Structure 1
Amino acid sequence: MSGIAAAYVALAGAIVFEVTGTNFLARSEHVTKLGPTTVAAIFYALSFYLLAQALRQVPLGVAYGLWGGLGIILTAAMSVIVFKQRLNMPAVIGIGFILVGVVIVNGFSKSMTH
């Protein structure tokens, strides 16, 4: 696997671990339950480690933008699916703007390292 491909695999893993950590944080009941709190901390640590590995090849602004943007989109989706929360129209529109931003950065930015 090439260096850039490995970096994007690491970035994808960082996003998945961040979203998973956030879901466990929601189950921690404001950091009062030891188990979910510990699992959330472990997943966040793994996420930051993989994000750091991705930064070897992917520019900081791009990597962090993708990590944050896709993390928000996936966390919002998980809140609807897992926690049965509802998103109102302004939230859906805002998340749509984030998705458009991710597509623009990935598809059109000259900052991307391919």
Structure 2
Amino acid sequence: MYTMRSAAVPYVFLLMAIAFEVVATSLLKLSDGFTRLWPTVGCLAGYLAAFALLAIVVRHVPVGVAYAMWAGLGTAAIAAIGVVFLHESITVAKVAGVLLVIGGVVTLNLGGVH
């Protein structure tokens, strides 16, 4: 059984997995179709670390909750990075889509999927 302190550890690992995935996805654009060595290496290393952490997380967190948080927070972060750093356009539809994904994550977590 988890204590209050240790119950948070899988979620810390999940946040780390999401961060690695976001960095890897950002590097994917910079790799230029895997034609640039260092962004490609960073991208692949980031995905490897992300999936290794996610594999640990799903031993302690229901896979539906873990994946929903992974997808929702990762999508929101990548959308923000795209707008701020990669000069992608921001539209009402993009903002609404991200908000719906985040709403789905919140609903899963509040809905007793645990």
The alpha carbon displacement at 1:21 in A equals: 0.3
Paired with 2:69 and 2:60, the residues of 1 have a C-alpha distance of 14
The alpha carbon displacement at 1:103 in A equals: 1.7
Which one of the candidate residues 64, 76, 86 is aligned to 1:61?
Answer: 64
Which one of the candidate residues 6, 10, 26 is aligned to 1:7?
Answer: 10
Paired with 1:101 and 1:48, the residues of 2 have a C-alpha distance of 22
Give yes or no for contact 2:65–2:105 (8 Å, CA) kept in 1: no
Q: Percent identity?
A: 38
Structure 2 unmatched ranges of 5 or more: none
Paired with 1:99 and 1:7, the residues of 2 have a C-alpha distance of 20
Paired with 1:37 and 1:81, the residues of 2 have a C-alpha distance of 22
Which one of the candidate residues 98, 111, 114 is aligned to 2:113?
Answer: 111
Which one of the candidate residues 87, 90, 95 is aligned to 2:93?
Answer: 90
TM-score (norm 2): 0.91
Which one of the candidate residues 35, 38, 41 is aligned to 2:41?
Answer: 38
Runs of 4+ in 1 over 3 A off after TM superposition: none
The alpha carbon displacement at 1:110 in A equals: 1.0
The residue type equivalent to 1:110 in the other structure is G
Give yes or no for contact 2:34–2:40 (8 Å, CA) kept in 1: yes
The residue type equivalent to 1:55 in the other structure is V
Paired with 1:23 and 1:105, the residues of 2 have a C-alpha distance of 27
State the Cα deviation string for residues 15-52 of structure 1 (Å, max 9, x = none).
00000000111101111111101100000000001101
RMSD between aligned residues: 1.1
TM-score (norm 1): 0.91
Which one of the candidate residues 65, 77, 81 is aligned to 2:80?
Answer: 77
Paired with 2:13 and 2:32, the residues of 1 have a C-alpha distance of 30
Structure 1 unmatched ranges of 5 or more: none
